[in-house]
């Protein structure tokens, strides 16, 4: 989807909600990670929620890089399988969930300065307006019209979204 956005609308700013990043990280690490690396990464992911300025974002990014340098050996540990299938790898990462959480946060760090601190004041910091302002009414409409065929439901959603554009044409001009 990001590739399609870049092709169709290259000037579009893509922003990932930091709260959802934290939720995904928390689900991978749990609220009580057993390893020191996991505890530190969970704490660092919590700090992401409080980043508001460009300076704080740079500091958070440096802390994440420092965490990775400190725990790089632990994160890249591998476990060798005794009898792997011929089509399988003979090893796996020992701390795959921790590794996945780190790379997710690292991706967020790359996007943090670029999108979250855009000088455009109209750009919101969270996606809450989408959840309550756009997605919720769509879900309600689909729930009320659940007997419709999928094609008709798609038309319903398209018309709803079209009616929410800045200057929609009257329906008689759209056919």
Residue that is last in its domain, among 116, 139, 159: 116
What confidence tens digit (pLDDT) does each residue in 85-131 have?
A: 777 788 889 999 999 999 999 988 877 666 555 545 555 656 666 66
- Residue 99 and residue 33 share a domain: yes
Report, in angstroms and rounded to the nearest whole number, the Rg of the chain calculated over CA atoms: 22
Domain with 142 in it: 128-174
100: Cα within 13 Å, side-chain hemisphere: 13
Q: Express each pLDDT in 4-50 by its tens digit.
A: 777 877 877 666 778 888 899 999 999 999 999 999 999 999 998 88
Contact 105, 45 (CB under 8 A): yes
Q: Is pTM, for the whole model, over 0.75?
A: no
Residues in the chain: 175
Residue 161 lies in a domain: yes
> Cβ distance 38 to 29 under 8 Å?
yes
Closest by Cα among 18, 22, 45 to 127: 18
Q: Taking the chain, what is the end-to-end CA distance rounded to the nearest angstrom?
A: 28
| Residue 122 domain-assigned (yes or no) | no
Residue ending a domain, among 93, 116, 139, is 116
CA 173 to chain centre: 37
């Amino acid at each position: 989807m990001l590739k399609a956005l870049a092709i169709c609308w290259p000037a579009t700013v893509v922003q990932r909600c930091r709260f959802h990043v934290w939720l995904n990280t928390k689900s991978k690490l749990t609220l009580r990670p057993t390893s020191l690396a996991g505890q530190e990464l969970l704490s660092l992911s919590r700090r992401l929620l409080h980043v508001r300025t460009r300076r704080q974002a740079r500091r958070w990014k440096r802390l994440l890089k420092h965490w990775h340098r400190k725990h790089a050996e632990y994160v890249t540990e591998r476990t060798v399988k005794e009898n792997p299938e011929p089509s399988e790898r003979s090893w796996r990462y020992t701390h795959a969930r921790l590794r996945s959480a780190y790379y997710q946060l690292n991706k967020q760090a790359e996007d943090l300065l670029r999108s979250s601190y855009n000088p455009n004041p109209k750009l919101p910091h969270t996606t809450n307006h989408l959840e309550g302002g756009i997605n919720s009414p769509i879900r309600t409409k689909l729930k009320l019209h659940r007997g419709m065929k999928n094609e008709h439901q798609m038309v319903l959603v398209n018309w709803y979204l079209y009616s929410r554009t800045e200057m929609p044409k009257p329906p008689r001009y759209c056919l």
